[in-house]
Amino acid sequence: MWEIAAQLLAVGLLWGVTNPFIRLGSQGIESVKDTGSKWRNFLQEARTIGSRWRYWIPFGLNQCGSALYVWTLQSASITVAVPVANSLSFAFTAITGYALGEKLPGKKVILGTLLICCGSILMIYDKVLQEEDNQPQNITFQ
């Protein structure tokens, strides 16, 4: 179970840390000039974003997190994996964004994030306890 917890932590970390960098790498895409044609606009936006390594590196790492998440779901309970990975992602996004100079979320958002993380920890702890209860006991007869 601890291996699954570490994998979910890594997923939350990969998703959360890369979100602010993806946002930074995609800045300016909204300023692509309107050419009057949907297809030309699409191609111009694709060319603009396609040439930005500051977008593609975090995006690739984010997708590695998604692949790890799908791989982890093979052995993890979905009722634990979804809230744990998403809450950790939210927390890491807030921390990384603040480190990059973004505005700190409000007190209610921080409190909500802490409560979600505490709930995730309790869910993992409960799952560990359930697994320990289900372990066969070594009984010897004399």
Q: Between 13 and 32, where is the model more confident?
A: 13
Our count of domains for the chain comes to 1
Q: Between 111 and 31, where is the model more confident?
A: 111
pLDDT of 25 strictly over 60 = yes
- Does residue 141 lie within any of the structural domains? no
- Does residue 139 lie within any of the structural domains? no
- Does residue 138 lie within any of the structural domains? no
Mean pLDDT of the chain: 82
- Please compute the mean of the pLDDT values over residues 58-63 and round it to a whole number: 94
6 three-state secondary structure: helix
- Does residue 30 lie within any of the structural domains? yes
- Does residue 128 lie within any of the structural domains? yes
DSSP character string of 113-141: HHHHHHHHHHHHHHHHHHHHHTSPP----
> What is the pLDDT confidence band of residue 140, given thresholds at 50, 70 and 90?
low
77 backbone φψ class: left, alpha, beta (φ>0; ψ -120 to 50): beta
Q: Between 104 and 64, where is the model more confident?
A: 64
pLDDT of 142 strictly over 90 = no
Which residues constitute the domain of residue 74? 2-133
- Does residue 65 lie within any of the structural domains? yes
- Please compute the mean of the pLDDT values over residues 50-69 and round it to a whole number: 90
- Residue of 68, 86, 58, 65 lying closest to 14 (CA atoms): 65
- Does residue 123 lie within any of the structural domains? yes
- Does residue 111 lie within any of the structural domains? yes
What torsion, rounded to 10 degrees, do the Cα atoms 57, 63, 65, 66 define? Answer: 170
